[in-house]
Amino acid sequence: MVKPVFKATKSKATQATYSVEFKAGDYVFSEGDLGTEMFIIQDGEVAILKKLRGEEKQLTMLSRGDFFGEMSVLEDLPRTAAARAESDCRLLEINSTTFDQMLRKNPEIAVRMMRKLSRRLRETDNMLRQALGSEDLQAPEMPSPQAVPTPGKGPERLIHDPTGTEFFLSEGDETSIGRRDPVTGIHPDIDLTPADGQRSISRRHAKIFRRAGKYYVREEIGTMNGTFVNGERIETGVPVEFEHGDEVRFGLIKTNFHAH
């Protein structure tokens, strides 16, 4: 069962949320447009663009699970950037009424949105300084994935049998599992991207905990495609114990846990 990033209920009163499709090269909206909807990417990629000195510059590239267009919903102002489909896309369109309901019911959405907006502000400021030639005022660049410190490794590991890849748990009591988020700059302790060709892993998918010699996995809020222990779906937010030799699946990625 696939669980959506944001759960919204369809109703005539709110005009509901619904899927819309765009072909590669189509504009979802243009800079300056009035907007009362935000979008979540279900499939495909979307480029966010802004005009500088008459030329459109790419601010960022978004993919499945990312959201955009929320600023016009929050501020009730014209779009400050354009959004263009870079591939054939399927988007979930959410109007302002449903958006307000989502924020009240799920604070995690607001937290992730704040992280995204903070990251985007830094990137936009850096790009503007470069475009205007203010090198002496250049904001420091965000660290590349290679520059992010690698956490210490313990002996415990998750092994992806199809590829033989070993993903080691960190030495601390907690290990975050997911995939790198280019929007917020979040880097999980275990990045399953190399094994996740179908992009079934959420950016903040789950955490593994050590407690008194035992191991537990907890699915994070907003996870899309579920977490399983020995084939059984676990409940979001509830730690579930597992042992050496058990199968732990994140989305479509099956791993076997080795404690030594």
Query: Tell me, what's the pLDDT at 145?
Result: 39
Query: Tell me, what's the pLDDT at 150?
Result: 43
Query: Tell me, what's the pLDDT at 206?
Result: 94
Query: Tell me, what's the pLDDT at 124?
Result: 64
Position 11 confidence tier, pLDDT thresholds 50, 70, 90: very low
Can you tell me the mean pLDDT for 37-53? 90
Query: Tell me, what's the pLDDT at 146?
Result: 39
Is residue 35's pLDDT more than 70?
A: yes
User: What mean pLDDT value characterizes the chain?
Assistant: 79
Backbone angles phi, psi at 20, to 5 degrees: -130, 150
Report yes or no: 16 and 54 within 8 Å, Cβ to Cβ.
Answer: no
Report yes or no: 93 and 17 within 8 Å, Cβ to Cβ.
Answer: yes
Domain with CATH 2.60.200.20 in the chain: 146-258
- CATH homologous superfamily for 18-137? Jelly Rolls (2.60.120.10)
Domain with CATH 2.60.120.10 in the chain: 18-137
Is residue 175's pLDDT more than 90?
A: yes
Express as a percent the part of the chain with pLDDT over 90.
Answer: 35
Q: Where do the H-state alpha helices sit in the chain?
A: 70-75, 96-105, 107-131
Could you please state the CATH topology (level 3) that the domain comprising 146-258 is classified under.
Tumour Suppressor Smad4 (2.60.200)
What is each CA distance from 46 to 2, 24, 59, 62, 78, in whole angstroms? 22, 9, 11, 5, 19
Query: Tell me, what's the pLDDT at 118?
Result: 65
How much helix, strand and coil, in percent to the nearest 5, is found in the chain?
20, 35, 45
pLDDT single digits (tens) 72-126: 777 667 888 999 999 999 998 888 777 777 777 776 666 666 766 666 666 666 6
pLDDT single digits (tens) 198-231: 888 988 899 999 988 899 999 987 788 999 999 9
